Amino acid sequence: MTDLVDRARGALHAQPFSVLLGTELMHVGAGELTLRLPVRDELRQQHGFVHGGVISYLADNALTFAGALALGPRVVTGEYKINYLRPALNGTLMARARVVHAGRHQATCQCSVFVMEDGDERLVALAQGTVSRLGEASGRGEPEPAD
* Threshold 0.75, pTM exceeds: yes
What is the tens place of the pLDDT at every residue in 118-145?
889 999 999 999 999 998 754 556 666 5
Please state, rounded to an integer, the average pLDDT across all residues of the chain. Answer: 92
Residue 94: closest CA among 131, 132, 50, 129: 50
Listed by start position, the domains of the chain span: 2-133
Judged against a pLDDT cut of 70, whether residue 86 lies above it is answered with yes
CATH of region 2-133: 3.10.129.10
